[in-house]
Structure 1
Amino acid sequence: MTDTFAAVFVALYAAHQVADHWIQTQHQADHKGKPGWVGRWNCVKHVATYGVTQLLALALLAAVTDWRPALVPLAAGMAVNLATHYIADRRTPLFRLALATGSAAFWKLGTPRADHNDNPSLGTGAYALDQSWHVGWLFVAALIISV
């Protein structure tokens, strides 16, 4: 199971990077955290393409190795993965978690000030917390899928 878990995790992580940074449209990124149906719909579209990207990576893994995923653990692991991705990308739940855990200051780290472009960087505290949330749940999903 150790080799299977490692391969599944790497496939999910690689696909996560591609889906979150290449496949996701700018429109989805800009709107998935908005309140109401506009935000929900854009988040659903992002999570759908994210899931397809990860399933393609897992299919490629199965095609080039002797790994044959069991349907129930695969479905359960992907359900956990996609649900937690949606929760994080709606932004408010993750911000509330940051508040509850004392990480609000880190969440705001690097946020540009209103009417200023004074943070030309690749990330903020919010981005770091978002990505660490995703990777943690990828670990759980890989454990479930590998059973």
Structure 2
Amino acid sequence: MFADPTGRHAAAFAAVFAALYVAHQVADHWVQTQWQADHKAEAGWLGRLACAAHVTTYTLTALLALATVVLATGLRLDPWGVAVGLTVSGASHYIADRRTPLRRLAEHLHKSPAWMERGGGLYALDQSWHYGFLFIAALFCAA
């Protein structure tokens, strides 16, 4: 990529990833309403609306976490990089939380239906999908 003898880019990435990871946990498990959780994977407009509402509060939680890091540490982030990163995070979160795309991908990869349904596999796949995209989002935010 490019040389960064000061390590500033690596430190910015680490701080941003930590903020996005914490925001993910808080937004997915505390901020998300029961209505959003119950309906976000449903077919039709109700499901799309519930998922969009969840992704909105999820993204606002991430923005708040990033703003807190910036204010607390003096870290400078490019607003366009943050916008792209949060868009990547939000869009990928919406795709995963609608469930069908993730389930189809898991089936294509021959994941066991029993493991996905009763063994916690679908939740594990969902979370690992989110963490992978948080990594990509942090790269954009910290660039």
Asked whether the two chains share a fold, i.e. TM above 0.5, the reply is yes
Q: CA offsets, 1:53-78, max 9 Å, x none?
A: 00000000000112121011111111
Within 1, Cα distance between the matches of 2:69 and 2:111?
37
Corresponding residue for residue 74 of structure 1: 82
Correspondent of 2:116 among 107, 111, 114: 107
**1:34 equivalenced with 2:42 (yes/no):** yes
Within 2, Cα distance between the matches of 1:89 and 1:139?
18
Structure with the larger helix share? 2
Higher mean displacement: 69-78 or 11-20: 69-78
Corresponding residue for residue 3 of structure 2: none
Give 5+ residue unaligned stretches, structure 2.
1-8
Give me the TM-score of the superposition, normalised by structure 2: 0.91
Within 2, Cα distance between the matches of 1:139 and 1:20?
17
How far apart are residue 108 of structure 1 and its match?
A: 2.4
Within 2, Cα distance between the matches of 1:16 and 1:89?
13
Corresponding residue for residue 52 of structure 1: 60
Within 2, Cα distance between the matches of 1:40 and 1:22?
20
Q: CA offsets, 1:73-98, max 9 Å, x none?
A: 11111110000000000000100010
How far apart are residue 138 of structure 1 and its match?
A: 0.2
How far apart are residue 109 of structure 1 and its match?
A: 3.4
Corresponding residue for residue 128 of structure 1: 124
Query: Following TM superposition, where does structure 1 have runs of at least 4 consecutive aligned residues deviating by more than 4 angstroms?
Result: none
Correspondent of 2:135 among 139, 143, 147: 139
**1:25 equivalenced with 2:33 (yes/no):** yes
Give 5+ residue unaligned stretches, structure 1.
111-123
How far apart are residue 125 of structure 1 and its match?
A: 1.0
Count of residue correspondences = 134
Q: CA offsets, 1:18-73, max 9 Å, x none?
A: 00000001110010000000000000000000000000000000001121210111
The one-letter code sitting in structure 2 at the alignment partner of 1:32 is: K
Corresponding residue for residue 43 of structure 1: 51
Within 2, Cα distance between the matches of 1:45 and 1:23?
11
TM alignment of 1:91-102, pairs within 5 A: 91-102=99-110
Give me the TM-score of the superposition, normalised by structure 1: 0.88
Within 1, Cα distance between the matches of 2:95 and 2:112?
18
Corresponding residue for residue 10 of structure 2: 2
